[in-house]
Structure 1
Amino acid sequence: MTIPSVETTIRLIDTGAAAGSTCSPDLATPPWEFDAGTPGYGPGSSMGDVIPAGSPRQGALPERYRTASPEELSARIVEAKQALGDSVVILGHFYQRDEVLRHADFVGDSFQLAQATQSRPDAAAIVFCGVHFMAETADLLSGGDQAVILPNLAAGCSMADMADIDSVTECWEQLEELYGTDADASGRVPVIPVTYMNSSAALKGFCGEHGGIVCTSSNAQAVLEWAFERGQRVLFFPDQHLGRNTAKAMGVPLEAMPMWNPTRPLGGNTRGELDAARVVLWHGFCSVHRRFTVPQIDAARAEHPGVQVIVHPECPMAVVDAADSAGSTDFIAKAIAAAPAGTTFAIGTEINLVNRLAAQHPEHEIFCLDPVICPCSTMYRIHAGYLAWVLEALVGGGEQSAQVLNQITVSPDIARHARVALERMLAARPPASTAPATTLPDQQLVGV
């Protein structure tokens, strides 16, 4: 049975041609309609989050891309890629639309794509089909003569926006006043900053400058182990859930993980609570993974006896505890691939990945825990029209010379420290080393 892509399914639901529900009727509207309007994350899981003032905005997409059919856009992308050859490499995150991801040279999670960034040093351009912080990371890790391109500048991340450099710096100053800066008898400093990959380059730079490190969901435990070897405690931002779930699995008690609310003095904690802390958690979260609930797990178990429930560690602790297992997108994909035929899976992560896994593994029954279709708002801002636009600009032709559109660059003063934190991250591999990002065979994307 052919499984249509999420984008196709949303259109079918919108026209009444298919059953089901979405979290917003605006999901059927092309993203350029929102790029021209009021600043926001767009329809999807993050649509209720408040976008910070001054967030990047995308200019108008030329009409020839807005009016082209999906088939025409796909053909134009293929033609542009052939013309560009090895001078361009396209990276695609697991949460992208199938209509975009089918053209990627490397597909993976944020950790794998950070590794893939360094795999093609001869490519003049890296087109990153993901979100803004990922493109920044690619710029940090790529060669100085390589241009990193984000097809839609409005593809940000609401979680990353929940921690800014000013708020984190203020938090750090308060913690230094409380803890001091002197190392203990074993040489461990009072606190080590750890930022999730889902953060700005400025925060990665902050960690690099202050002896800290970056983590992803793939290597969060390895990173925390690295940090505890060097520090008495950890300041973990911006995702509270990944920090809590990872530290709890390592044996850190909940009472040793106070939450830091940047709008309150001492983050809303007492000096005693902070003094006893092992992990200070930032008040941030992923709107995609916050949608998953324990009642959804209960409903899946009631309707599908024997179902295997796997969720992402960005989900709330109660959801992770109720699931059979939790892990990164790469972990989820590998668990499904290794299961005996006929296994039923309920997956708690972004719908594009779940839908794609169901298409790739017809030997299993795979469905999303959340019955309402609600993709990542910001990943969904990347559309095949934008990909065709930036690729054809690189090709040039006629009276139009080749040009780089939507280039993402990190200032040298930030980049210097951020690279240190990222290099530490790349060295802190998970116990069972995460496989590198790979190409995605066309036959794995049926129904696109």
Structure 2
Amino acid sequence: MTTDTRSVNQTITSDPSSSCDVELAAGPWEFDLVAGYGPGASEDDVIPDPVVRPGQLPAAYQRMDEEDLHARIRAAKESLGDRLVILGHFYQRDEVVRHADFVGDSFQLANAALTRPDAEHIVFCGVHFMAETADILARPDQHVILPNLAAGCSMADMADEDSVESAWEQLTEIYGTEPDASGRQPVIPVTYMNSSAALKAFCGRHGGIVCTSSNASTVLEWAFERGQRVLFFPDQHLGRNTAKAMGIELDAMPMVNPRKPLLGQTEQVLRDAEVLLWPGFCSVHKRFTVAQIEAARAQHPGVKVVVHPECPMPVVDAADAAGSTDFIRKFVAASEPGDVIAIGTEINMVNRLAAEYPDRTIFCLDPVVCPCSTMYRIHPGYLAWVLDGIVEGEVRNEIVVDAEVATHAKVALERMLAALPK
């Protein structure tokens, strides 16, 4: 197996709109201890502190032939039987997804884990916040494993507990803490699933809730029944697109800056706000543009364009439809043979849909391949290594959320699970 060890900072310079390293390494272990998010990462990603969660993979698994890795994974699955469940996110590479017992988006996988109560080991082929969520919802005797601890999330790292607490203090100074005549609280915190367990716990402590891209509109309705306004973090685009679809004016959706007095706004703007947006984003979905949609329509008259709601608002407005990864999957499934579909989401999922429906023309809006670089860190080598560990009686890369954090986070997550997508 060969690897490309070029610098993770190498980018395409001929096109100023390009910000991805398209030379993806076959083995992400080369980058596990490098500051940043690894091969394929966007220059727009904000480097967190600490810069990366340490990853590790023994050299024997790095050198192992791909078919040998797959054989090891299959053998471990057969040996462990119902004691094991493997969850795979839609954005995972095909060579990992092929071994998953469940494939889905964050909401679906959170529910899927609950359907296998006999599984002693939940191996989450996704990123860190997803494994944390699985651990919070799992039984105390279940072990949640993230094959590569370096698989984080740049969006999740854009909202940290200290910054959210600071913003909350400023907001309570303005709004107070007493409910209005109808019993609605001054502000309800809503965090996207793409956030740390600590921020989910923050929402649980303050009467808030977690959302996914599947149920964001249901969650916002839930929040407005209980609050006069919403603090939505970390993804500004999902918050803006969802609230706009509910009829909320853009002027009532200011973006806050926790590092500035009054969060970078005037007191009147904050008082008039209905949704307070955090300045976070997904670096993959941020790349999609209206110009890409116009180019697709020019090249393919009659093309159907579907995008993820993490895309900027003008992109969502220009598309024919927008929704979660599961929505996009269903959109393609409902199409007809011969249809041309342009998709604005992560490339692994787009390629998988194109292979699944060869009688349609399916392509990614972004001509520069830009995968979720952190999802890309899950490689069959890591999966084989952690499964071999389970067979040998060793739990490797276990994710354990602090008990107090888990207690409060579970409150917000259970509210999320009850808020069924429309």
Question: Smaller-chain TM-score range?
Answer: over 0.9
1:419 aligns with 2:416: no
Determine the C-alpha separation between the residues in 2 that align with 1:360 and 1:264.
48
CA offsets 1:387-439 (integer angstroms, 9 cap, x no match): 0000001111xxxxx100000011011111100000000001112xxxxxxxx
1:385 to 381, 399, 408: 381
Determine the C-alpha separation between the residues in 1 that align with 2:344 and 2:179.
41
Larger CA deviation: 334-343 vs 198-207: 334-343
Q: How do 1:198-347 and structure 2 match up within 5 A? A: 198-347=194-343
CA offsets 1:122-151 (integer angstroms, 9 cap, x no match): 111000000000000000011110000000
Match of 2:6 in 1: none
Determine the C-alpha separation between the residues in 1 that align with 2:399 and 2:325.
25
Match of 1:11 in 2: none
Tell me the amino acid that sits aligned with residue 30 of structure 1. G
Tell me the amino acid that sits aligned with residue 320 of structure 2. D
The CA deviation at 1:29 is 4.5
Unaligned ranges ≥5, structure 2: 4-17
Tell me the amino acid that sits aligned with residue 190 of structure 1. P
Match of 2:12 in 1: none
Answer whether contact 2:37 2:52 (CA < 8 A) is retained: no
Determine the C-alpha separation between the residues in 1 that align with 2:219 and 2:74.
39
Answer whether contact 1:106 1:116 (CA < 8 A) is retained: yes
Q: Taking structure 1 as reference, are residues 25 and 223 closer, same or farther at Cα in structure 2, changes over 3 Å only?
A: closer
1:68 aligns with 2:64: yes
Tell me the amino acid that sits aligned with residue 339 of structure 1. S
Q: Could you state the TM-score of these two structures normalised by the residue count of structure 2?
A: 0.94
The CA deviation at 1:27 is 0.9
Secondary structure of the residue aligned to 1:260 is coil
1:375 aligns with 2:366: no
The CA deviation at 1:46 is 3.6
Match of 1:169 in 2: 165
Q: Could you state the TM-score of these two structures normalised by the residue count of structure 1?
A: 0.89
CA offsets 1:175-213 (integer angstroms, 9 cap, x no match): 000001111111101100000000000000000000000
Equivalences, count: 407
Determine the C-alpha separation between the residues in 2 that align with 1:425 and 1:361.
32
Unaligned ranges ≥5, structure 1: 1-6, 8-20, 397-401, 432-448
Secondary structure of the residue aligned to 2:56 is coil
1:82 aligns with 2:78: yes
Determine the C-alpha separation between the residues in 2 that align with 1:165 and 1:22.
29
Answer whether contact 1:205 1:417 (CA < 8 A) is retained: yes
Q: Percent identity?
A: 71
Larger CA deviation: 260-269 vs 182-191: 260-269
Match of 1:32 in 2: 29
Answer whether contact 2:41 2:370 (CA < 8 A) is retained: yes
Q: Taking structure 1 as reference, are residues 218 and 25 closer, same or farther at Cα in structure 2, changes over 3 Å only?
A: closer
Determine the C-alpha separation between the residues in 2 that align with 1:26 and 1:320.
29
CA offsets 1:51-91 (integer angstroms, 9 cap, x no match): 32225533431122111122111111111111111111000
Q: Taking structure 1 as reference, are residues 23 and 55 closer, same or farther at Cα in structure 2, changes over 3 Å only?
A: closer
The CA deviation at 1:48 is 4.5
Determine the C-alpha separation between the residues in 2 that align with 1:46 and 1:390.
28
Larger CA deviation: 260-269 vs 270-279: 260-269
Answer whether contact 2:22 2:370 (CA < 8 A) is retained: no
2:192 to 196, 199, 203: 196
Determine the C-alpha separation between the residues in 2 that align with 1:231 and 1:101.
40
Answer whether contact 1:40 1:47 (CA < 8 A) is retained: no
The CA deviation at 1:359 is 0.5
Determine the C-alpha separation between the residues in 2 that align with 1:416 and 1:312.
31
Determine the C-alpha separation between the residues in 1 that align with 2:124 and 2:110.
11
The CA deviation at 1:26 is 4.2
Answer whether contact 2:53 2:152 (CA < 8 A) is retained: no
Determine the C-alpha separation between the residues in 1 that align with 2:53 and 2:193.
22
Answer whether contact 2:121 2:143 (CA < 8 A) is retained: yes
2:420 to 406, 411, 429: 429
Q: CA RMSD in A?
A: 1.5
Determine the C-alpha separation between the residues in 1 that align with 2:38 and 2:322.
28
Determine the C-alpha separation between the residues in 1 that align with 2:361 and 2:409.
42
Determine the C-alpha separation between the residues in 2 that align with 1:355 and 1:275.
45
1:111 aligns with 2:107: yes
The CA deviation at 1:219 is 0.1
Answer whether contact 2:20 2:43 (CA < 8 A) is retained: no
